[in-house]
Amino acid sequence: TWTMLNVVEEQVEKIREQVGEGRAICALSGGVDSAVAAALVQRAIGDRLTCVYVDHGMMRLGETEQVRRDFEEVFDSLDVVDAEEQFLTALAGVTEPETKRKIIGHEFIRTFEAAEVRVFGDAQQGETVFLVQGTLYPDVVESGGGAGTSTIKSHHNVGGLPDDLNFELVEPLRALFKDEVRAVGEQLGLPERMVWRQPFPGPGLGIRIIGEVTKERLDMLRQADAIAREELTKSGLDREIWQMPVVLLADVRSVGVQGDGRTYGHPVVLRPVTSEDAMTADWARLPYEVMEKISTRITNEVAEINRVTIDITSKPPGTIEWE
Ligand code: XMP
């Protein structure tokens, strides 16, 4: 639309003014906000933008490969960091949700800083490096007008770089709502998959395993999640459903029967919700046929999972994610 074309032109102009001849770096999460912000900056300053994508090993089935292919098509300079082992080692033995989140956030900043050192290690004294963030208007409002809540918050202590290197935030989406960001993404010609991606938390499947996060459990959850997403897409409900986390109750077992044997496996919880902005949400009345298909397939196809349950709690009092 005309309006979005104006937004693109206006923002590209503003970014050029702010960054001048400088260089910028952006952490891509795989989500639409950081992708659109980075695409705007790339349009403004070209290959003086470097994008970094950290694979923390807790993405969904095939997601990192997909994100990498999509991003390689869009971004000229992309640094993909494989940090699975680092994250899983840091999470070993941890079950408390906030501790998990803190560890994941901490490892993320460490990894991103290492990438910055690689990319900007030769930065001149006194040079300002620009940090691109996909902060949206609701983030600005929620955090009282300060820096956004998305991706990285604490960037005042960037280790490893010269002390007199300054960081300055570039936040081209600060005035926009989610649907406007999607429209800008379409205007910029980003792939539809990227533009219409449902929300997915930064800590990934790590906060959808209730209990310790291990590679084995992640693989189990990845399989169940892939089936649930495939069936939801087949049903044509992707845009109606805000998101549908699949949660693995990894420390719970229940008895079942399959073929002519007793099973003693784990339950998963489907958490389909409808929402406008994730601040509140309602549990989605999924059609019975869709639930049936998902349940049958998960219990047949994923060894170790022998029960599928559904969460019928609204937000509030429940949150969308379980951790
Ligand atoms: P809750 O669970 O608080 O989630 O109802 C609200 C929305 O935020 C997403 N979410 C996150 N997104 N980093 C993110 O980028 C996070 O740490 C995070 N935690 C929750 C969640 O998927 C839902 O869309």
pLDDT in tens, 46-60: 999 999 999 999 999
For residues 145 and 223, membership in a common domain is answered with no
Residue 165 — φ and ψ, nearest 5°? Answer: -90, 125
> Domain of 136: which CATH number?
3.40.50.620
320 found inside a domain: no
Residue nearest to atom 7 of ligand 1 (CA): 278
Looking at the fold, whether 60 and 99 belong to one and the same domain comes out as: yes
Ligand 1, residue 242: give the atom nearest the CA: 24
**183 shares a domain with 36:** yes
- Among 149, 225, 242, 320, say which to mutate for ligand 1: greatest number of ligand atoms within 8 Å of CB: 320
175 or 164, which is more confident? Answer: 175
State whether 13 and 94 are in the same domain.
Answer: yes
- In short, whether 140's Cβ falls inside 6 Å of ligand 1 is no
User: What whole-number distance in Å separates Cα of residue 51 and Cα of residue 38?
Assistant: 8
Q: Note the pLDDT of residue 157.
A: 40
The finding on whether 138 has its CB within 6 A of some atom of ligand 1 is no
User: In ligand 1, which atom is closest to the CA atom of 150?
Assistant: 15
**pLDDT band at residue 116 using 50, 70 and 90 as cut-offs:** confident
Same domain membership, residue 213 and residue 191 = no
Q: Is residue 149 part of a domain?
A: yes
Shared-domain flag, residues 164 and 246: no
Task: Please check the confidence at residue 141 and state whether its pLDDT lies above 60.
Answer: yes
Instruction: Report the CATH number at residue 276.
Output: 3.30.300.10
198: CA distance to ligand 1 center in Å?
Answer: 11
Domain identity same for 22 and 138: yes
Phi-psi region of 283 (alpha: psi -120 to 50; beta: other; left: phi over 0): beta
Structure tokens at 294: 């998902």
Q: Which of 166, 195, 224 is the last residue of a domain?
A: 195
Q: Please state, in angstroms and rounded to a whole number, the distance separating the CA atoms of residues 231 and 221.
A: 15
Residue 217 placed within a domain: yes
Q: Tell me which residue has tokens 């089936």.
A: 227
Q: What is the pLDDT of residues 260-317, one digit of tens each?
A: 899 999 999 999 999 988 899 999 999 999 999 999 999 999 999 999 999 999 999 9
Annotated binding site: 29-35
By residue range, what is the domain housing residue 278? 208-310
Annotated binding-site ranges for ATP: 29-35
Residues 183 and 70 placed together within one structural domain of the fold: yes
Ligand 1 atom, smallest distance to 245 CA: 22
Measured distance CA(293)–CA(312) in Å, rounded: 18
CA 323, CA 320: separation in Å to the nearest integer?
Answer: 9
Shared domain for 54 and 174, answered yes or no, is: yes
Write down which residue in 195, 216, 238 finishes a domain.
195
pLDDT band at 123 (very low <50, low <70, confident <90, very high): confident
Contact yes or no for 109/202 (Cβ under 8 A):
no
Could you write out the DSSP letters of every residue in 79-125? EEEE-HHHHHHHHTT---HHHHHHHHHHHHHHHHHHHHHHHHTTPPT
Predicted ipTM of the assembly: 0.99
User: For residue 152, what pLDDT band results from cuts at 50, 70 and 90?
Assistant: very low
Separation of 323 CA from ligand 1 center, angstroms? 9
Distances (CA, A) of 202 to 29, 68, 80: 7, 16, 16
Report which of 50, 78, 60 is spatially closest to residue 206, judged by C-alpha positions: 60
What's the structural domain count of the chain?
A: 2
Q: Is the dihedral of CA 135, 138, 139, 141 positive or negative?
A: positive
Q: Kindly report the pTM of this predicted structure.
A: 0.87
Output the pLDDT for position 1: 59
Q: Please, are residues 169 and 14 in contact by the beta-carbon 8 Å criterion?
A: no
The verdict on 48 and 152 lying in the same domain is: yes
What does the pLDDT average to over 247-255? 98
The answer on pLDDT for 161 being more than 70 is no
Q: Are residues 178 and 260 in the same domain?
A: no
Which of 134, 162, 195 is where one domain is finished? 195
Question: Please, what sign has the CA dihedral across residues 148, 151, 154, 160?
Answer: negative
Q: Is 206 in the pocket of ligand 1 (CB under 6 A)?
A: no
Q: Residue 323: CB within 6 Å of ligand 1?
A: no
CB of 320 closer than 6 angstroms to any ligand 1 atom: yes
pLDDT exceeding 90 applies to what percent of the chain?
A: 77
Residue nearest to atom 9 of ligand 1 (CA): 201
What is the structure's pLDDT at 148?
A: 41
- Distance between CA 80 and CA 102 in Å, rounded? 22
Do 121 and 233 belong together in one domain?
no
